[in-house]
Amino acid sequence: METKNLISVEEEHIILLLQKGYSNQTISKETGISVNTVKYHLKKIFKKLHARNRIEAINNFNKTLKNIPL
């Protein structure tokens, strides 16, 4: 199963904001969700993308867009 299909629309939006270098607080303001909910989504994103941090999550997400196996 392709990883991109596991990412929800909201999680994808958060990843795109991560790519801009936004903090959890800024992501919270941009999306209208609490900082705790941002953190919750980040945990789910990291797990789905097999990432330990924001940079790995962004890189792994971009790889899935290019259909490169993780």
Residue with the two structure tokens 């941090």: 53
Enter the DSSP assignment of 5: G
What is the C-alpha separation between 11 and 8, in angstroms, rounded? 5
What is the C-alpha separation between 41 and 17, in angstroms, rounded? 13
What is the C-alpha separation between 70 and 62, in angstroms, rounded? 10
Residue with the two structure tokens 């596991």: 6
* Per-residue pLDDT, 68: 56
pLDDT, tens digit only, all 70 positions of the chain? 355 558 999 999 999 999 999 999 999 999 999 999 999 999 999 999 999 999 999 999 999 887 755 5
